[in-house]
Chain A
């Protein structure tokens, strides 16, 4: 991988990666920037040793998501005051952001299939039809899976935290 290829890949992926992560951190700019930066540094290290993956963006998203989960897991035993919350950037209170991040962490503990469908619907703002096309299943099946995933999430969180709408 030459430097030009590396920078070209960066320019092509940084906007979608940033958007993907910002939706999961509810617009917490500092946290999103740190995670995006760390993901590219890991990519450089990994791709130099091995090879550039077939879909760099998918690889980066997966790594960024894992970094966020690791970060939230490290913080779960401390108070929200220790989280680097930046409420102004998303017109939210620290309380809102804390809850959003808690919900994201709870979603990550659900099975891969449930987490994928909830994230696609709530964080990436995809419609039931788009998810059905991506997963090659019927819209009805998507609705059923969404309902079951929501129920699983509810059992992990107090009621008030799962009543929000789509993250748009």
Chain B
């Protein structure tokens, strides 16, 4: 088979990265598991605005296709993204202001009100990120690049700017978890729930902090690369090392938490309170987590040798 029918390695790598981030973006935009009742009319209006915006952008994209279509399509795609994010931001803000009113009238709980407020802040960050992407596409004429070793575009460091937004997004998660902890404390004091529910939230908070720490490290690496202190290859290895460290940390905390839960379940089983099947399921989850831990350890070893 001639090599013209084979994809080029750089293309494959870049496409895989793009598909991976697109997957994460799409899944982040998915609604949470029905905790907030959004009025149907609001959903319908948001959808209509979205469809209209997409239509306008598609017409624009069709016009652009006449000449140097690759660059124009990238720009049209980024502009569509900005319009959709803007529409989403406006509808979320409206929901937040309604929620504020309903909260002050005692119609919704504080937690629900906070969730909507944070959703509005997150929508604003998403919009900012789409504006950033549009600026980069306009300046480079190609899809935004997120590798730590990507060059600056038009004197701007888009990679670092995006990483800073990612930190803000995670800080929003932390804000939400902290408010949940406060609420749980009240419930525990009233004897409505057991104290061990704190464990789950605390581990979520710890995981987010680890992620922020990882992004900070990536920001530092990026800064050193832009300053010319390290090469692209060094950046890549160090970046992989940061990710591997995080994976190792997460896998270790997962193993610890599951081991603890398994111990508790075994106690309950001796008292006949749960079935052996639940023990088996937990054992399976623990085995899987241990396998992940072994893999993460192996990855770290390999990277350390490369270093």
Residues of A within 8 A of B (CB): 3, 6-7, 10-11, 14-15, 18-19, 22-23, 27, 29-30, 32-34, 36-37, 40-41, 44-45, 48, 74, 78, 82, 84, 89-90
Query: In the complex, how many angstroms separate the beta carbon of B6 from the nearest chain A beta carbon?
Result: 7
B18 touches A10 (CB 8 A): no
Shortest Cβ distance from A41 into B: residue: B22
A82 touches B4 (CB 8 A): no
Q: Are A37 and B15 in contact (CB under 8 A)?
A: yes
Chain B residues closer than 8 Å to A36, beta-carbon distance:
7, 15
Q: Provide the B1-38 mask, 1 if CB < 8 A to any CB of A, else 0.
A: 11011111001100110111011101100000000000
Chain A residue with the shortest CB-CB distance to B2: A27
Complex interface: chain B residues within 8 A of A40 (CB):
15, 19
Among B1, B7, B11, B12, chain A packs the most CB atoms within 10 A around the CB of B7
A98 to chain B, nearest CB (A): 16
Contact between chains at B4 and A89 (CB < 8 Å): yes
Known A19-B5, A29-B4, A36-B15; contact A78-B66, beta-carbon cutoff 8 A: yes
Asked, given contacts A6-B19, A7-B20, A14-B12, whether A19 binds B26 with beta carbons under 8 Å apart, the answer is: no
Shortest CB–CB separation between residue A65 and chain B, in angstroms? 16
Kindly identify, within residues 282 to 298 of chain B, every residue whose CB is under 8 Å from any CB belonging to chain A. Answer: none
Contact B16 A10 (CB under 8 A): yes
A82 to B1 Cα, complex, angstroms: 30
Q: In whole angstroms, how far apart are the Cα atoms of A40 and B120 in the complex?
A: 30
User: B198 — which chain A residues lie within 8 A by C-beta?
Assistant: none
* B26 contacts A45, C-beta separation under 8 Å: yes
10 new A-B contacts, CB < 8 A, other than A7-B16, A37-B15, A37-B18, are A3-B20, A7-B20, A7-B23, A15-B6, A18-B6, A23-B5, A33-B7, A36-B15, A48-B27, A78-B66
> A89 CA to B2 CA in the complex, in Å?
11
In the complex, the chain B residue whose C-beta lies closest to that of A91 is: B4
Chain B residue with Cβ nearest A168: B2
Take A7-B16, A34-B70, A37-B15 as given contacts and tell me if A19 and B6 are in contact as well, using a CB distance cutoff of 8 Å. yes
Of the A-B pairs whose beta carbons lie under 8 Å apart in the complex, a sample of 28, sorted by A's number, is A3-B23, A3-B24, A6-B19, A7-B20, A7-B23, A14-B7, A15-B7, A18-B6, A18-B7, A22-B6, A29-B8, A30-B70, A33-B7, A33-B11, A34-B70, A36-B7, A36-B15, A40-B15, A40-B19, A44-B19, A44-B23, A45-B26, A48-B26, A74-B65, A78-B66, A82-B66, A82-B67, A84-B70
Within 8 A of A (CB), among B111-153: none
B57 shortest CB reach to chain A, Å: 15
What are the residues of chain A within 8 A of B11 when measuring CB–CB?
33
Nearest 3 Cβ contacts at the A-B interface? A27-B4, A18-B7, A22-B5
CA distance A83 to B27 in the complex (A): 35
User: Please, how many angstroms separate the alpha-carbon atoms of A33 and B4 in the complex?
Assistant: 12
A44 to B29 Cα, complex, angstroms: 13
B19 and A18 within 8 A (CB):
no
A41 contacts across to B, CB distance below 8 A: 19, 22
Whether B65 contacts A10 by the Cβ 8 Å rule is no
